[in-house]
Amino acid sequence: MHILAISGSLRAGSTNTALLRATAELATDIVRIILYDGLDDIPPFSPERDKENTSASVNQLRQLLREADAVLFCTPEYIHGMPGVLKNMLDWLASSGEFVDKPVGVISAGPSDMGGSRAHASLSYTLKILTAQLPEKASLIVPFVRQKIDADGQVIDPALNQQLRDVVDALVQAVQDNRQPV
The pair phi, psi for residue 80, each rounded to 5°, is 65, 25
Total count of domains within the chain:
1
Domain span holding position 6 = 2-179
Q: Helices 15-26 and 158-179 meet at what angle, rounded to 10?
A: 70
pLDDT in tens, 7-62: 999 998 899 999 999 999 999 889 999 999 999 999 999 888 887 768 999 999 99
- pTM of the shown model: 0.95
CATH number, residue 112 = 3.40.50.360
Q: How is residue 95 annotated by DSSP?
A: T
